[in-house]
Structure 1
Amino acid sequence: MASRVPDQVVFDAVLQVIAEQGYERSTTRSIAEAAGINEATLFRRFTSKENLLRQAVRSNFLGFALDLDTPGDDVAADLLTIVNYYARLYDTRGGVVLTLMREAKFSPEVAAVLTEPESLLGRVDEVILHHQRRGALVVEPPRHTFFALVGPLMMRAFARRVDRLTTQTPADPEAVVRRFLNGHRPQQAP
C-alpha cells in the first residue's frame, strides 16, 4: 500500500503549477500529477481546486512569521521585519504571488482566496500609519509607502520570472530599508 502524500507536498505542487500555468489554466489533473497523487484522491481530500488553493495559500501564509502586533519606536526595525517577510515570500513563492495578484482582478475565486493575505496588508498599513503619526515617515497613503518599500523585491521576483537566466543575488533587507528611509523620512524644517 502506498503511503499518504502529505498535505504540504500537495500544497507545494498546487502553488508551483499555478505559478507556471496560472489558476484558470491549471487543471486538477496537472496538480495531482505534480503532487504524485490520483486526481480522485485530490478531490476527496480537498473537494475543489478553489479549496485546494485556499488551503495552500493559508498553509504558506502561516509558515511565514510576521509579528506586527506591536509596532515600536524604531521605524527601521519595523520596516526590516516587513522587508524580511516579503523578501522571503518573493524568493520562495514570487511566481505564484505575481500570478495570483494578476488573476485576482479577473477571477472571483482567486480574489476570494486572497482575503487572508490582504488582511496581512492591513496590519502592515497600521505599522506604516503608526510611524507616519510619529513623524518618522512621510505622510502618504500607507499602501503607497508599502509598495515603495517592497517594490524592489517585487521587481526582482518579476525579473526572475521573465528572464530565467537572471542570476541576481538575494536582496539585502537592511540595504532595502536604508535606501527606502533615505527618501521617505519627512523633511526637517529649516
Structure 2
Amino acid sequence: MASRVTDQAVYDAALEVIAEQGYERATTRAIADAAGINEATLFRRFVSKENLLRQAVRGNFAGFSLDLDAPGDDVAADLLTIVGYYSSLYERRGGVVLTLMREAKFSPEVAAVLAEPESLLEKVDAVILHHQRRGALVVEPPRHTFFALIGPVMMRALARRVDRRATQAPADPEAVVRRFLDGHRSLER
C-alpha cells in the first residue's frame, strides 16, 4: 500500500509548478502529478487551487522564523534578522515569490493570498521606523529602506532563476547588512 503524500509535499509541488508556470497556467492536474497524487485527492484535501496556494504560502512562511516583536537598540542585529529571513526565503522559494508578486497585480486570487505575508512586511516597517526614530537609520519611507536592504538578496535569487548558468553564491546576510549600513546610517548620530 502506498504511503500518504504529506501536505508539505503537496505544498512543495504546488509552489514549484506555480514558480515555473505561473498561477493562472498552473493546472491542478500538473500540481497533482508533481505531488504524486491524483487530482481528485488534491481537491478532496484542499478544495480549490486558491486554497491550496493559501495553505502552501502559510506553511512555507511558518517554516521561516522572523521574530520582530521587540526591536532592540542594535540596528545591525535587527537588520541581520530581516536579511537572514529573506535570504532563506529567496534561496528556497525565490521563484514562486517573484512569480506571485508579479501576478498579484492581475489576479485577485493571488492578491488575496499575499495579504497574509503583507502583515509580515508591516512588522518589518515597524522595525525600520523604530531605528529611524532612534536616529540609527536615514529617515525615508520604510518600504524604500526595506527594498534597498533586501534588493541584493532578491537580485541574486532572480539572477540565478533567470540564468541557470549563474554561479553566484547566495548573498551573505552579514555583508549585505554591513554594505547597507554604510549608505543608510543617519548622519545625525
Q: TM-score interval w.r.t. the shorter chain? A: over 0.9
C-alpha distance after superposition, 1:131-175 (max 9, x if no partner): 000000000000000000000011111111110110111211000
**Are residues 1:79 and 2:79 paired?**
yes
4+ residue runs of structure 1 moved beyond 6 angstroms?
A: none
Aligned match of 2:104: 104
Unpaired segments ≥5 residues, structure 1: none
Aligned match of 1:115: 115
Identity %: 83
Q: State the SS of the aligned residue for 2:26.
A: coil
C-alpha distance after superposition, 1:93-124 (max 9, x if no partner): 00000000000000000000001110000000
Q: State the number of aligned residues.
A: 189
Paired amino acid for 2:63: G
Partners of 1:181 and 1:66 in 2: how far apart?
Answer: 20
Paired amino acid for 2:176: V
TM-score between both structures, scaled by the size of structure 1: 0.98
Report if aligned partners of 2:135, 2:188 keep a CA contact under 8 Å in 1: no
Greater mean alpha carbon deviation, residues 168-177 or residues 45-54: 168-177
Unpaired segments ≥5 residues, structure 2: none
Aligned match of 1:135: 135
Aligned match of 1:24: 24
Report if aligned partners of 2:16, 2:96 keep a CA contact under 8 Å in 1: yes
Report if aligned partners of 2:54, 2:113 keep a CA contact under 8 Å in 1: yes
**Are residues 1:175 and 2:175 paired?**
yes
Partners of 1:89 and 1:130 in 2: how far apart?
Answer: 24
Partners of 1:88 and 1:127 in 2: how far apart?
Answer: 19
Partners of 1:180 and 1:132 in 2: how far apart?
Answer: 14
Paired amino acid for 2:159: A
TM-score between both structures, scaled by the size of structure 2: 0.98
